[in-house]
Amino acid sequence: MFQSEYLKRVYSGVEARNPGEKEFLQAVREVLESLEPVVAANPKLEENGIIERIVEPERQIFFRVSWVDDNGRVQVNRGFRVQFNSAIGPYKGGLRLHPSVNASVIKFLGFEQIFKNSLTGLPIGGGKGGSDFDPKGKSDGEVMRFCQSFMTELSKHIGADTDVPAGDIGTGAREIGFMYGQYKRLRNEFTGVLTGKGLTYGGSLARTEATGYGVCYYTEEMLKCMKNDSFKGKTVVISGSGNVAIYATEKATELGGKVVALSDSNGYIYDPNGIKLDVVKQIKEVERGRIKEYVNRVDGAEYHEGCSGIWTIKCDIALPCATQNEIDEASAKALISNGVIAVAEGANMPSTPEAIEAFQSAGVLFGPAKAANAGGVATSALEMSQNSMRYSWTFEEVDAKLKDIMINIFHNSYDAAKKYGMEGNLLAGANIAGFEKVADAMLAQGVAY
Ligand code: NDP
C-alpha cells in the first residue's frame, strides 16, 4: 500500500467516488504506486492538487445508442466517451466495441492513455470511448446503422482540435469508415477527426501495422539493452488474433522469432512449425472467422478450447495482445517455469498486478502496455499531422518514425526509473516518464475556477 499520506488520501477518494470499478481502480493504483518517489521529491504536486486532478476525468459522456436490426427491431446500446486529460493536446484514444464495455473499462483505458500518449513525445491528451455493442455476428448493415447512430451523438463532443478517437477492440477499418462518413455528413467538413481511416480518405500508411510492429520494436530494444539479446531464434507466444496480434506476429517473425501460438476468446492454436500468417489473415481479416479454423488448413497444428492454456506453452518471449487481465499469477508462474525471458504487453493491462510482481521478482524483462503498445496511438498522431498538412508520408517514412518513437519510449522509461532508484523497472519508469510531462503542463496551466 502507499507510503505517502497524500497518495493514500487521493486513492481512498478514488475508491469512494468510483465504487465497484475494479479495472479503473487497478489502473489508478498501479500508476500511483509508481509515483511515490516523484511525489516525495516534488511537494508542488500536492500543493497544486495534481494527483487528485489527474485521477478525475475532465469530462465523461454516456449516451443512448438506438439502432434498427435486420429484423426491423429496435436495439439499444450504451455509448461512452471519457475525455480524461487535455493538458498536452486534444483528447486521443480508441473506441472499444465489445459486450464487456462499461464505465470502469473505459475509464481504466482513458486513464492509461494519458501516460501512454505523453510517452510518445507527441502532443496528444488522453481519452477513450466505446459501447457495449458486439459487432460479432452482425451484418454489415447492422454495424453501419449502429456506427451512424453512435456518431450522431459522439459528433457533438469531438473534433480535429478537440478529441480524435480511433479504433480498438471491435473497431477496425469498417467501423471507422462508417463513423467517419456519418461525421462528415453531419458536420459538412473533411477533417482528421478519427484516425485509422482507410487509405483513400486520409488514413496513414502503416497505421494498421503500427501497434503490433511497435510492440516488437520496443521488445527488440529492451532485449538488446538489458540482455544483449534479440528476437533471433526465439520461440514466441502471442495471444489474440486481431489487429495487434497479427502485426506483432508479422514483425516478430521478420526479426527472426518463431511465433507458435495465437488465440481468440474461445481458444488457442499451437503450431510447432511456426504460425502461417497468410492463413491467419485470410481467416481473421477476410472471412472474419474463428481461429480454430486454422487447424483445418495447416497440418500439424492443434486447437485447444479456453484461453489461459496458451501461457503453458514453452516460449522465450510472450506478447499478450488480446485483452485486460488475461495473464494471472498462475499463468505468469507457468511462463516463468518454462523459462520465459521477456514479456511485453500489446494489449492494455493484460497482466494482473500479481502476474507483474511474479515477472519482476523472477527477473523476467517486463514491458508494460503504456510503453510497449504506444506505437498505435503514436502513428495515429502521425496520421493527424498528415491530415493537417493535407499530405501523405510513405510507408517507410511512417515506419521509421514509429521505430524511433518506440526506441525513445524504451530509453525514456529506463532513464526515469533509474533517476528514481528503480533501474530496470520499466513499469515504474513508463508511469513516471509519462506523468512528468503531463504534470508539468498542468502546473503551467493553473487551476480552473
Ligand atoms: P481486435 O478486436 O482486432 O482483436 C482482439 C483480439 O483479442 C481478438 O482475437 C479477440 O478474440 C481477443 N479478445 C477480445 N476480448 C477477449 C476476451 N475477453 N478474452 C479473450 N480474448 C479476447 O482488437 P485489437 O487487436 O485492436 O486490440 C487488442 C488489445 O490491444 C486491446 O487490449 C486493445 O485495447 C489493445 N490496443 C490496441 C491498439 C490498436 O491500435 N488496435 C493500440 C493499443 C492497444 P475474439 O475475436 O474472439 O473476440
Cβ–ligand 1 contact at 265 (below 6 Å): yes
Atom nearest to 172 CA in ligand 1: 3
Give the pairing type, strands 235-238 and 125-131.
Answer: unpaired
Please check whether residue 38 is in contact with residue 2, taking contact to mean a CB–CB distance below 8 angstroms: no
Mean pLDDT across 307-332: 97
CA distances from 140 to 136, 178, 198 (A): 10, 10, 17
Assign 253 a pLDDT band (cuts: 50, 70, 90). Answer: very high
Nearest CA residue ID for atom 20, ligand 1: 265
pLDDT in tens, 261-303: 999 999 999 999 999 999 999 999 999 999 999 999 999 999 9
Nearest to 431 by CA among 409, 446, 447, 407: 409
What is the average pLDDT value for the chain, to the nearest integer? 97
Average pLDDT over residues 200-221: 98
Of the candidates 90, 161, 101, 163, the one whose C-alpha atom is nearest the C-alpha of residue 132 is 101
Q: What integer pLDDT is reported at residue 1 of this predicted model?
A: 81
Does 240 sit in the ligand 1 pocket, CB within 6 Å?
A: yes
In the chain, which residues fall in CATH 3.40.50.10860?
59-189
CA distance 243 to 168: 9
Q: Quick one: average pLDDT of 60-83?
A: 98
Which residue, judged by its Cα, is nearest atom 42 of ligand 1?
Answer: 376
pLDDT at 424: 97
pLDDT band (50, 70, 90) for residue 448: confident
Q: Has 128 been annotated as catalytic?
A: yes
Ligand 1 centroid distance, CA of 295 (Å)? 21
* Assigned fold of 59-189: Rossmann fold (3.40.50)
- Band (85; pLDDT cuts 50, 70, 90): very high
Task: For residue 19, give the amino acid letter.
Answer: P
Which pLDDT score is estimated for 247? 98
Q: Indicate whether residue 355 lines ligand 1 (CB < 6 A).
A: no
Percentage of the residues of the chain whose pLDDT score is greater than 70: 100
Tell me the one-letter amino acid at 143.
V
> What CATH code is assigned to 210-367?
3.40.50.720
Position 50 confidence tier, pLDDT thresholds 50, 70, 90: very high
Segments of the chain assigned to CATH 3.40.50.720? 210-367
pLDDT tens digit string along 410-446? Answer: 999 999 999 999 999 999 999 999 999 999 999 999 9
Q: Which residue among 92, 107, 116, 128 is the active-site one? A: 128
C-alpha cell at 49: 492538487
Residue 449 has what pLDDT?
73
In the beta sheet, which residues pair with residue 233? none
Backbone φ and ψ of 166, nearest 5°: -150, -170
User: Rounded mean pLDDT of 58-71?
Assistant: 98
What's the predicted TM-score (pTM) here?
0.96
Contacts of 396 (CB under 8 A, 6+ apart): none
Q: Average pLDDT in the 189-200 region?
A: 96
The reply to whether ligand 1 has any atom less than 6 angstroms from the CB of 243 is yes
pLDDT digits (tens, 9 = 90+) for 107-161: 999 999 999 999 999 999 999 999 999 999 999 999 999 999 999 999 999 999 9
Output the pLDDT for position 351.
Answer: 98
| 328-341: average pLDDT | 98
Nearest one of 137, 120, 129 to 95, comparing CA atoms: 129
Please tell me the distance between residue 267's alpha carbon and the centre of ligand 1 in angstroms.
14
pLDDT at site 167: 96
Distance between Cα 321 and ligand 1 center (Å): 6
Q: Which strands form 302-305's sheet, in the order they lie side by side?
A: 302-305, 267-270, 258-263, 235-238, 317-319, 342-344, 365-367
Nearest CA to 319 out of 219, 409, 233, 413 is that of 219
Report residue 338's pLDDT band, with 50, 70 and 90 as the boundaries.
very high
Predicted local confidence at residue 255, as pLDDT: 98
pLDDT at 89: 98
Q: What distance in angstroms lies between residue 253's CA and the mean position of ligand 1's atoms?
A: 20
CA pair distance 325, 341, nearest whole angstrom: 20
